[in-house]
Amino acid sequence: MVDIEKHQITLLPSGVVFEGSSEKTILDSALEVGIALEHSCKTGTCGVCKAKVILSEGNELGESVLLTCQAMPSCDLTLHAEYYPELASIKCITAPAKVNSILYESEDIITLELRLPPKNKFDFLPGQYLDLKYQGIARSYSIASIPNEKNTIELHFKRVLGGKMSEKIFSPIKENQLLQVEGPKGTFFFHNKKTGPIIFIATGTGFAPVKAMISKLVKDQQLDRPIHIYWGNRSSDLFYDKPVLLNWSEQFDFIKPELCLSKAEENWFGRIGYVQNCVIEDEVSLCDAEVYACGSIEMIESAKSLLVSAGLDRDSFYSDAFVAS
């Protein structure tokens, strides 16, 4: 029988301390005691949970880094890692959910509204995601709505060739179908730590958490900063929520949406180019700005590199990568 070793994990700059285990990842140990370390995919792919190792059993370790979602401690560690006390009071729950409504946005995009029982109050921060479970399959989806009294949740689905969950949703799924949700999860939410422009960048259904965050800002009238929305897709029919963007821009002149196609298309008169390049082309002020990016990992990595090189504070780039599963 293998002995389970316990080790002290100290986080900087917060000073938070918790107990790690040699049989669990650092992230899982933290989440179990309500400490929300920055993370996204939990598979080691996106790199969001990367932490710098400051001390290992009292020894300084230069530029050593680890992924908290993969690393299991073998000694006491001091890490430089983001910790979000805003999430401490939000509990992850597992609950049944029924399909309340189905909206076919296009041939390849469906919006579902799920309703949960009143006893299973689903509290979350706009931008977070959940795991959807249906007929033995589980997949992660960003929440596109904000908390509400009806206890409903909006999710966006894109048809994926060969995708097991995608095939079931598009087969098609019916109203009142019973599903299961587990969440909320993730550390993607609006931080409001700066005073400059807020830049949202999304590809595909990465628009879902962007919609949630902006909807919350609009509802709370927390609109004292310029808001730039860049949404990229491969074809124009994938801009399924254009009316929402139009409504925002008509109500508030400081909300500026840009739709960007990666390649030219007949009868398309909007922007052409990768969405992250469009942000650079527009020379949006990065002084005291915050960037929130959601979508493909390739877009996120490129956007972060470009924007940091252009002057964005690296710690002001927040992201949630969609990882194939």
Q: Is the pLDDT of residue 59 over 70?
A: no
**Residue 192 placed within a domain:** no
Query: Number of structural domains, the chain?
Result: 3
Q: How confident is the model at residue 325 (pLDDT cuts 50, 70, 90)?
A: low
Q: Is 100 in the same domain as 77? A: no
**Residue 174 placed within a domain:** yes
User: Burial level of 222, CB count in 10 A (0-12/13-18/19+)?
Assistant: exposed
**Residue pLDDT, tens place only, 18-33:** 999 989 999 999 999 9
Q: Is 130 in the same domain as 230? A: no
**Residue 1 placed within a domain:** no
Flag the least confident range among 53-62, 107-116, 213-222: 53-62
Q: Is 203 in the same domain as 301? A: yes
Q: Is 203 in the same domain as 317? A: yes
**Residue 261 placed within a domain:** yes
Report residue 137 as tokens.
């399959």
Instruction: Answer for the pair 283, 228: CB distance below 8 angstroms, yes or no.
Output: no
**Residue pLDDT, tens place only, 256-287:** 999 999 999 998 988 999 999 999 999 999 99
Max distance between CA atoms of the chain, in angstroms, equals: 67
Supply the CATH number for residue 52's domain: 3.10.20.30
Q: Is 65 in the same domain as 131? A: no
Q: Is 83 in the same domain as 106? A: no
Domain end call among 52, 87, 122 = 87
**Residue 193 placed within a domain:** no
pLDDT of residue 2: 57
Number of Cβ within 10 Å of residue 29's Cβ equals 22
Beta strand 93-106 with 109-115 is: antiparallel
**Residue with more model confidence, 60 or 235:** 235
Q: Is 61 in the same domain as 130? A: no
pLDDT of residue 1: 47
Supply the CATH number for residue 222's domain: 3.40.50.80
Number of Cβ within 10 Å of residue 257's Cβ equals 18
pLDDT of residue 323: 75
pLDDT of residue 179: 98
User: Burial level of 173, CB count in 10 A (0-12/13-18/19+)?
Assistant: middle
Domain end call among 63, 87, 111 = 87
Mean pLDDT of the chain: 93
Q: Is 204 in the same domain as 314? A: yes
Q: Is the pLDDT of residue 69 over 60?
A: yes
Supply the CATH number for residue 99's domain: 2.40.30.10
| DSSP letters for 235-249 | SGGG-TTHHHHHHHH
Whole domain around residue 20: which residue ranges? 6-87
Q: Is 109 in the same domain as 159? A: yes
Q: Is 238 in the same domain as 283? A: yes
**Residue 190 placed within a domain:** no
Average of per-residue pLDDT across 124-138: 97
**Residue 121 placed within a domain:** yes
Share of the chain above pLDDT 70, in %: 97
pTM above 0.85, yes or no: yes
Domain end call among 87, 104, 127 = 87
| DSSP letters for 108-140 | TEEEEEEE--TTS-----TT-EEEEEETTEEEE
**Residue 67 placed within a domain:** yes
Share of the chain above pLDDT 90, in %: 81
Q: Is 173 in the same domain as 241? A: no
Q: Is 202 in the same domain as 304? A: yes
Q: Is the pLDDT of residue 316 over 90?
A: yes
Q: Is 95 left (phi over 0), alpha (psi -120 to 50) or beta?
A: beta
